[in-house]
Structure 1
Amino acid sequence: MNRNFFFILLISFRLSRGAKILAIFPYQGKSHNIMFEPLSSGLAKAGHSVDLVSHFPPDEHVPGLNHISLKGTLHFYVNNMTATKALSMKSFVGVMNFISRDEPRDLCNLMRLPQLQNILNTTEKYDVMITEIFGTNCYLGFAHKLKLPVIGVISSAMYAWAYGPFFDTSNPSYIPSQLTEFGHRMNFFERVSNLMTHLGSVILFHYYDRTVSEPIVKKYIDDLPPLNDLYNDMSLVLVNSHTSIHGARLKSPAVIDVAGLHINETVDLPEDLESWMNSAKNGVIYFSLGTMIKPETIGSEKISAICECFAELEDYKVLWKGKMEEMPAGLPPNVKMIQWIPQYAVLRHPKVKVFVTHGGLMGTLEAIHAGVAIIGIPFFADQYFNIASYVDRGFAVKVNYENLDKSTLSNALTSVLTDPKYERNIRHYSKLFKDRPLSPMQEAIYWVNFIIRNGGNSLKPPVSHLYWFQYYMIDVILYLTIITILSLLAIFVIFRKLIRLSCLKNSPANKIKTS
Structure 2
Amino acid sequence: MQARLLWLVLCCAAAEAARLLVVLPTNTRSHYVMYGRLVEALARKQHHLTVISHFPMKNPPSNVDEISLAGTIPEITNNLTRQDQSLKPSFVRNLEQIMKECVQACETVSRIPAVKDLLNSTVMFDMVIVEVFGSECFLPLGQRFQAPVVGLLSSVPLPWVNEQLGNPEATSYVPAYMMGYGQHMNLWERFANTMSVLWAKILYRYKSQLPSQAIADRLFGPGPKLESLAQNYSLVLSNSHFSINEVRPLVPALVEVGGLHLDDSQKLPRELKALLDASNEGVIYWSFGSMSRIETIPSDKLAQIFEALSKLTQTVLIKMDRGMLSRNLTVPDNVYTMDWIPQYATLNHPNVKLFISHGGLLGTQEAVACGVPMLMVPLYADQALNAHAMSDRGVARTVSLREGTADTWSEALKDLLTNPKYKENALKLRDIFLDRPMPPLEMGVYWIEYVLRHKGAAHLRSPALDLSAPQYLLLDVIALSIAITSLTIFILHTLFRYLCTRCIKWWPKEKNIILEKKLFRKNFSLFLCLLWKYKVKTN
Number of the residue aligned with 2:181: 182
For the structure 1 residues 231 and 60, does the alpha-carbon distance in structure 2 shift closer, same or farther, using more than 3 Å as the test? Answer: same
Number of the residue aligned with 1:232: 231
Shift of 1:465: 2.3
Letter in 1 for 2:299: S
Number of the residue aligned with 2:530: none
Is the CA contact 2:47–2:63 (under 8 Å) kept in the aligned structure 1? yes
Is the CA contact 1:287–1:357 (under 8 Å) kept in the aligned structure 2? yes
| CA–CA separation in structure 1 for the residues paired with 2:507 and 2:464 | 59
Is the CA contact 2:288–2:294 (under 8 Å) kept in the aligned structure 1? yes
Identity %: 33
Shift of 1:106: 4.1
Give deviations 1:365-391, integer Å, cap 9, x for gaps: 111111111000001110000000000
Is the CA contact 2:30–2:290 (under 8 Å) kept in the aligned structure 1? yes
Number of the residue aligned with 1:361: 361
Shift of 1:349: 0.7
| CA–CA separation in structure 2 for the residues paired with 1:90 and 1:6 | 53
Is the CA contact 2:159–2:201 (under 8 Å) kept in the aligned structure 1? yes
For the structure 1 residues 507 and 56, does the alpha-carbon distance in structure 2 shift closer, same or farther, using more than 3 Å as the test? Answer: farther
| CA–CA separation in structure 1 for the residues paired with 2:117 and 2:213 | 21
Letter in 1 for 2:316: V
Number of the residue aligned with 2:421: 421
Letter in 2 for 1:376: M
Letter in 1 for 2:56: P
Letter in 1 for 2:188: F
For the structure 1 residues 87 and 339, does the alpha-carbon distance in structure 2 shift closer, same or farther, using more than 3 Å as the test? Answer: farther
Is the CA contact 2:27–2:76 (under 8 Å) kept in the aligned structure 1? yes
Letter in 2 for 1:319: L
Give deviations 1:104-134, integer Å, cap 9, x for gaps: 1442342121122123223211111111211
Number of the residue aligned with 2:261: 262
Give deviations 1:191-218, integer Å, cap 9, x for gaps: 1221111222122212333432212221
| CA–CA separation in structure 2 for the residues paired with 1:264 and 1:414 | 31
Shift of 1:506: 4.8
Number of the residue aligned with 1:41: 40
Shift of 1:507: 7.9
Shift of 1:503: 4.4
For the structure 1 residues 432 and 86, does the alpha-carbon distance in structure 2 shift closer, same or farther, using more than 3 Å as the test? Answer: farther
Shift of 1:75: 1.7
* 1:94 pairs with 2:93: yes
The aligned runs of 1:384-395 (5 Å cut-off) are 384-395=384-395
Is the CA contact 2:164–2:227 (under 8 Å) kept in the aligned structure 1? no
Letter in 2 for 1:316: Q
* 1:351 pairs with 2:341: no
The aligned runs of 1:403-414 (5 Å cut-off) are 403-414=403-414
Shift of 1:411: 1.1
Shift of 1:433: 0.7
Is the CA contact 1:87–1:379 (under 8 Å) kept in the aligned structure 2? no
For the structure 1 residues 341 and 87, does the alpha-carbon distance in structure 2 shift closer, same or farther, using more than 3 Å as the test? Answer: farther
For the structure 1 residues 5 and 194, does the alpha-carbon distance in structure 2 shift closer, same or farther, using more than 3 Å as the test? Answer: farther
The aligned runs of 1:307-456 (5 Å cut-off) are 307-313=306-312, 315-328=313-326, 329-456=329-456
| CA–CA separation in structure 2 for the residues paired with 1:382 and 1:302 | 23
| CA–CA separation in structure 2 for the residues paired with 1:198 and 1:464 | 18
Shift of 1:291: 0.7
Number of the residue aligned with 1:295: 294
Is the CA contact 1:307–1:331 (under 8 Å) kept in the aligned structure 2? yes
Give deviations 1:444-492, integer Å, cap 9, x for gaps: 0100000011022131133432222222322232223223323332333
For the structure 1 residues 275 and 102, does the alpha-carbon distance in structure 2 shift closer, same or farther, using more than 3 Å as the test? Answer: closer
Letter in 2 for 1:381: A
Number of the residue aligned with 2:470: 469
| CA–CA separation in structure 1 for the residues paired with 2:383 and 2:85 | 11
For the structure 1 residues 261 and 86, does the alpha-carbon distance in structure 2 shift closer, same or farther, using more than 3 Å as the test? Answer: farther
| CA–CA separation in structure 1 for the residues paired with 2:114 and 2:408 | 50
Is the CA contact 1:368–1:426 (under 8 Å) kept in the aligned structure 2? yes
For the structure 1 residues 422 and 217, does the alpha-carbon distance in structure 2 shift closer, same or farther, using more than 3 Å as the test? Answer: same
Letter in 1 for 2:218: K
- Structure 1 window deviating more from structure 2 (246-255 vs 332-341): it is 246-255
Is the CA contact 2:139–2:226 (under 8 Å) kept in the aligned structure 1? yes
Is the CA contact 1:90–1:379 (under 8 Å) kept in the aligned structure 2? no
* 1:493 pairs with 2:491: no
| CA–CA separation in structure 2 for the residues paired with 1:87 and 1:147 | 47
SS at match of 2:411: helix
| CA–CA separation in structure 1 for the residues paired with 2:445 and 2:209 | 32
The aligned runs of 1:1-150 (5 Å cut-off) are 11-13=12-14, 16-78=15-77, 81-84=79-82, 91-101=90-100, 103-150=102-149
Is the CA contact 1:151–1:235 (under 8 Å) kept in the aligned structure 2? yes
| CA–CA separation in structure 2 for the residues paired with 1:332 and 1:23 | 46
Shift of 1:36: 0.8
| CA–CA separation in structure 2 for the residues paired with 1:269 and 1:285 | 16
* 1:205 pairs with 2:214: no
Shift of 1:165: 2.8
Shift of 1:40: 1.0
Give deviations 1:312-347, integer Å, cap 9, x for gaps: 21x311110011110113422221111111111111
- Structure 1 window deviating more from structure 2 (492-501 vs 53-62): it is 492-501
Letter in 2 for 1:326: M
For the structure 1 residues 8 and 377, does the alpha-carbon distance in structure 2 shift closer, same or farther, using more than 3 Å as the test? Answer: farther
For the structure 1 residues 60 and 468, does the alpha-carbon distance in structure 2 shift closer, same or farther, using more than 3 Å as the test? Answer: farther
| CA–CA separation in structure 1 for the residues paired with 2:430 and 2:140 | 40
| CA–CA separation in structure 2 for the residues paired with 1:355 and 1:90 | 29
**Structure 1: gaps spanning 5 or more residues:** none
| CA–CA separation in structure 1 for the residues paired with 2:283 and 2:89 | 30
- Structure 1 window deviating more from structure 2 (379-388 vs 223-232): it is 223-232
**Structure 2: gaps spanning 5 or more residues:** 513-539
Number of the residue aligned with 1:277: 276
The aligned runs of 1:168-179 (5 Å cut-off) are 168-179=167-178
- Computing the radius of gyration from Cα coordinates, the structure with the larger value is 2
Shift of 1:189: 1.8
| CA–CA separation in structure 2 for the residues paired with 1:118 and 1:90 | 42
